[in-house]
Each structure stands twice: as C-alpha cells, then as structure tokens.
Structure 1
Amino acid sequence: MTTGIRSLSLPRRLRLPLPLLLASVLLASGCGGSAGEKSGDAEGPAVKGFPVTVSNCGVKTTYERPPRRAVSLNQHATEVMLALGLEKSVIGTGYLDDAVLPAYRPAYDKIKVLAKEYPSYEALLAAEPDFVYGGFASTFDEKEGRSRDTFTKAGINTRLNGESCASGAVTMSMVDKEIRDVAKVFGVPERAERQVKALHTTLDGVDGRLDGVDPVKLFVYDSGDKTAFTAGGTGIGNAMIERAGATNLFADVDKAFGDVSFEQVADRAPDVILIYDYGDQTVEQKKKFLLTNPALRDVPAIKNERFAVLPLSSTVLGVRVPAAVESLARQLHPERFR
C-alpha cells in the first residue's frame, strides 16, 4: 500500500559513487523549509508569482508553487475551492453537511469522495495529497492522528478555515480574507477578487433594502431539548444576523455557540426564532418541539409562530454567507423585498 510519501529507490541510490551519494545527502539536508518548499523543489522550475507565504491559525507556510493534489474536507472549505475554479487541483474531498450548491455540482461530481465524513490519516496519505484544507478544527484532530503537525512532517501542507481559530468576533471581512488567502495559495488572486466583488454586490443590495429598518429580536435554535444550543456572539452567524436586520439575543455568549436554558430564552422574549436546518431532526420537528415547550408559551415568536430557517451549511464562514444574509433578511423583513 502506498503511504503517500515518495522515497528514493534504494537500488538506484546504491549505484551512485559513495562521495557523490554523501554530497547529495548533505545538499538535501541543507535545503530545509516548509512542506511546500520541499515538494516544490522536487516538482520543477519556479512558478510566476511564487513563492508566497501565508499565515493561517498560527501556522506559517511558504509555497514554492500552487498545490496540485489538494484535498478539501467540510462543506464550506470545498465550496470555497469550487467557487475559485480549483476543481482540477482537487484530487479528493469529504464530509458534506448539505448538497453542494447547484452552480458547483458539475465540478464537484468529478472529484473523488474519499469518505462520507473524515477519511482516516492513512486514507489521506494513500491519496498522496500535497495540501489538505479543512473547514472545522475537527479536520485536524490530534487524537485521530490528523494534527497539522503530523501532516507537515509527512510533507503535506494544510489550511484551516479562519473561523475555527479566530480571536474575538468573526466579521464579514473574514469571508473576504478566507477567499483571498486560498486564492493566493493557488496563484489565482484575480479569481478571488471576482468572487469578493460578487459577494459584496449581494451584501450591498441587502444593506440598501434594510436602510433605516428597526432590528427584530432574534433567538437562534440549533438543537437541544434540556437546554438550547444557540449562536453566541463570536461566530460568523452573529455577524450575519446583524447584517440581516436583527439583534442576536445571545450575542453576550462569548463564543460561537453555547447552551442556554429555555427560561433564559423566555426572559429575553424573541420576536423571531431562527432554526438551523441540519441533522436528523427536520425543521418541522424542531418547530413542533418549540411550540409545545411550556417554558416558551409566552414568547412573542411562539405566540405568533414566527420562524426563520437557514441551512447550517450557510451559517459558517464561506461563500454561502452573503446569499444566506439576503435569505434571512427576506424572512425577517419581507416588506422591504417586495
């Protein structure tokens, strides 16, 4: 079984004269650097615009040339790659939470799915990638043998979506940065600028429609029956809620997600409940649970049965964010979109 790490053929090495062999070893040991530098040196001449250096979640990497055998894991990471037209550089993918956006489906269908969820480290090595891009921190789970350091030691560069390591609140500008950083790694900065311009056109359109609107009080219901798992104040979800003309009632939770009691929800009296659609529970099942929860019976959103819905795949840092902001704004302020 291949391990994904190409080694020199021993018989060929033994045919070298001993002095030349020693010189080769010394030369190789003196050419250290990042994983990208090592793989780049072995693959041919310099590429225009390279080398480039990118810092990501505490890992600084220099790329001598664009990755040629990338693996993308998690929905939002995969869709960033596809939005940038990088499917020919992607040799494997895995772990979707939702159907790929229709515009990207033809490109996605040409990429090998390595696993329904996360491939094992051994399976990833067998695919022989030179770059692994993960959407969530769980992509690089050290306990599963997939730490970023482990990949680096194997000569494989990595990237983690910026939301997973943000210090402080995630802002809309981080969507731009994520797209631009990935494009920089692959040497296609002009594609990033086209994407960013299109995404801001959508956001600017929403801003124009909502000018002067009174924000509605909103509670996010992700999941939970004993307590409610909700959106806190540091994730991209909070920024999206604000941009869509609402106030996140649990923005004071100092993390992207957190548990709150249903009594706390009742005390804050949301006008609208935003349901994140994913997993085994359907939206209708979640609505029924909320509507019949005694703790919530006096909540305005429950009395008026006022709900909004977004797929979970649209509430993480990626190319879906602007369209999701528009969708939420239409649900919260339909009078502004007639």
Structure 2
Amino acid sequence: MKTFKSVWLVLAILMVSILTACGNEEKQDSASQSEQVEPAKAEATKVTIENNGTTQVYTEAPKKAISLNQHVTEIMLALGLEDSMVGTAYLDDAIYPPLQAAYEKVPVLAEEYPTKEQVIDSGADFLFAGWKSGFSEKGVGTPEELEALGIHTYLHTSSSITNPKLEDIFADIRNIAKIFRVEERGEKLIEQMTKEVEDIRTKLPQNKDNLRVLVFDSGEKEVFTAAQNFMNELVTVAGGKNIFDDVKSGWATVSKEDVVERNPKVIVVIDYGSTTAQEKINFLKNDPALKETEAVLNGRFVVLPLSAASEGVRAAEAIQILAKGFYPESFQ
C-alpha cells in the first residue's frame, strides 16, 4: 500500500512540474511576441517628411507648434490644431473670419518673425514657415540650427516653387495633417476647398476668350506684378489671363510701356501694407501712361487682400472675389 501511495505522489509531482514549465514557456512566448510587436508599433507611428532639403522624422505629433506667417497659421487653424500651438507671428491683415475664435486661443509672439530666444522660451517643438525668409538669417534660423535645438521645421512648399497650383497647396495640407496625425481632417478640408472652387467654375461663362488681367502689387516708375506665382493660378481658375504669365519668375518688375502694350481689361489690386487699395487705384487713374489702359478707362478694378492671394485655405474665396470681378453678370 505504501508503494502505491509513493507512485501517485511521484506522478503528482511530475504533473505539477510539467504544468509549471508549460506556463513559463507561455509567458516567455508572450513576452517575446510583445517585444516584437512594440518596435513594429513604434515604426508604424513614425512619420518621415522630406522638406526644404531636410529629412524630418516625427515619432509623435508636435505638441508646441509655432506658425510664422499668416497663410500657414490659417492652415493650422483650419485643421483644428490650435491646442497644439504655442504661438503665431507675422499677421498681414485681419485673420480669416471663420478662424478668428481659434486664432484668439493662440499667443501672438511677434508682429513679424519672433527671435530665436522667443522660440526657445516657448518650448516650441515645431516651426511652420510660409515663406523661405522664415528659415533664413533674417528669420528665426536655418533648419539645421533649429534641428540642433530639437525643433522640427516645415517650409510651405507651394509658397516656395514657381507657378504653384491648387494641388500643391493640397500636398502641403496633407503633409501637415500627416505630421499632426489628423489625416482625416486634412482630407475633409481639401474636399471642401475643391467643392467650393468647382461651384465657382460652373458659373463662369463658357466659350469666351479669357479676360486680359494685370495684377498690380505696387510701383510708381515701374510696375511690380505677378508673373508665375500663385496669383497666376488664381487668375486662370477665375477665368482670366495674366498678361505677364510668360515671365519666368514669381513676382516681376515690368515697364509701364509693357503694361500699356498688353492693355489689360481688368486690374487686380493687391491690398496690404500702409498704402491702401484706394490709393493704388487713384495712382493708376492719374498715371499718364497707365490711365490709357482699357481697364483704367472702364474702371475695372478688383481688390484682393494679400492674405487671400497666398497659398492657403482662402483659395476658393480669392477665386470667387476674382471671378465676380471678372464676370459680375454671372454672379448676380
């Protein structure tokens, strides 16, 4: 009888040992799988963006962003990122009205570009510039200098290339949405902008020669005008033809004689700065050469705010302002 009990005791001990070993193996397998999943998960959340000659790698969405120009500030706000911002700068004119409430939640760091010290004091981890000057010696600093401080940078590509199109703005919006992990918001914004533009285009007259258009920024002895920059795209989509679209630059200085020879039917006056749009119009009406153009003789002026003329979320609004000015009979 003792032998029988001893056999069962040995068997019981063996069973416990086997079960314990199996449990340990399962834990080890589980831990091993966990170790494999975590790096894969981290890799999946990593975002890599090629921008302005740099490779920017984001392991998480920025939490303390600063926008350095108005049109990119408005892109950030249109994507609902005000809570991820610690500052804005360089306001050209009034903020886009639908974004005013969001704008008021973000500190304004400077009238123009903030200093590097201001940026560091804010704890910023991301800078979004609308123009190349933002990341120059006269701006906040170079991308390399800022990267050394642990600050990511993004230069608005559509504002930095020749002859940008609406699709180039959409590419920038997608990049920012990807960096901040709000891709769905980005697509909705693009969809909304696309629909608004298409609604305007359906109202434009068909089978008509496009109106000859001069974009007047400034100038007294010569004329500073749009050539192959975003204004060219806006004018074209609105049913006009920029009379200096053949000049191979963004903005260009041309002679008054060239303007008179090309004889615009409409003049788009860019409104910004200390010289008002009406003062610019008065100059055009009184200039001995320019007052002889068809546009001035017929009083065909369209005023467009600089902030709407930039590569931002106001593109549809800018196109509507231009289209109504070009073809008022189609928008009554």
Are residues 162 and 209 of structure 1, via their aligned partners in 2, closer, same or farther at CA, if it must alter by over 3 Å?
Answer: same
Q: Does 1:154 align with 2:149?
A: yes
Q: Does 1:123 align with 2:122?
A: no
1:237-252 superposed matches below 5 A: 237-252=231-246
Q: In structure 2, how many angstroms separate the alpha carbons of the residues matched to 1:108 and 1:214?
A: 41
Q: In structure 1, how many angstroms separate the alpha carbons of the residues matched to 2:302 and 2:160?
A: 28
CA displacement 1:91-121 (0-9 Å, x = unmatched)? 1111100111111111111111111111111
1:48-127 superposed matches below 5 A: 50-127=45-122
Q: In structure 2, how many angstroms separate the alpha carbons of the residues matched to 1:274 and 1:173?
A: 23
Counterpart for residue 266 of structure 2: 272
SS for the counterpart of 2:100 is: helix
Residue 302 of structure 1, CA deviation: 1.2
When structure 1 is superposed on structure 2, of 242-251 and 211-220 the one drifting more is 211-220
1:289 pairs with 283, 287, 293, which one? 283
Counterpart for residue 4 of structure 1: none
Q: In structure 1, how many angstroms separate the alpha carbons of the residues matched to 2:140 and 2:176?
A: 24
SS for the counterpart of 2:289 is: helix
Amino acid at match of 1:319: V
Unaligned ranges ≥5, structure 2: 1-40
Identity of aligned residues (%): 39
Residue 283 of structure 1, CA deviation: 1.0
Q: Does 1:303 align with 2:290?
A: no
Q: Does 1:139 align with 2:107?
A: no
Which structure is larger by alpha-carbon Rg, 1 or 2? 2
- TM-score with structure 1 length normalisation? 0.83
Are residues 84 and 144 of structure 1, via their aligned partners in 2, closer, same or farther at CA, if it must alter by over 3 Å?
Answer: closer
Are residues 105 and 145 of structure 1, via their aligned partners in 2, closer, same or farther at CA, if it must alter by over 3 Å?
Answer: closer
Q: In structure 2, how many angstroms separate the alpha carbons of the residues matched to 1:130 and 1:193?
A: 24
Residue 47 of structure 1, CA deviation: 6.9
Q: In structure 1, how many angstroms separate the alpha carbons of the residues matched to 2:223 and 2:323?
A: 23
- TM-score with structure 2 length normalisation? 0.85
CA contact (8 A) 1:270 1:301 kept: yes
CA contact (8 A) 2:213 2:241 kept: yes
Counterpart for residue 9 of structure 1: none
Residue 142 of structure 1, CA deviation: 2.4
CA contact (8 A) 2:134 2:141 kept: yes
Q: CA RMSD in A?
A: 1.6
SS for the counterpart of 2:95 is: coil
Counterpart for residue 218 of structure 1: 213
SS for the counterpart of 1:133 is: strand
Q: In structure 2, how many angstroms separate the alpha carbons of the residues matched to 1:145 and 1:49?
A: 32
SS for the counterpart of 2:245 is: coil
CA contact (8 A) 2:113 2:139 kept: no
Residue 192 of structure 1, CA deviation: 0.5
Counterpart for residue 187 of structure 1: 181
Residue 163 of structure 1, CA deviation: 2.5
Counterpart for residue 231 of structure 1: 226
Amino acid at match of 1:231: A
CA displacement 1:25-56 (0-9 Å, x = unmatched)? xxxxxxxxxxxxxxxxxxxxx77951011112
Unaligned ranges ≥5, structure 1: 1-45
1:259 pairs with 247, 253, 258, which one? 253
Q: Which runs of 4+ in 1 moved over 4 A?
A: 46-49
SS for the counterpart of 1:297 is: helix
Q: In structure 2, how many angstroms separate the alpha carbons of the residues matched to 1:316 and 1:307?
A: 19
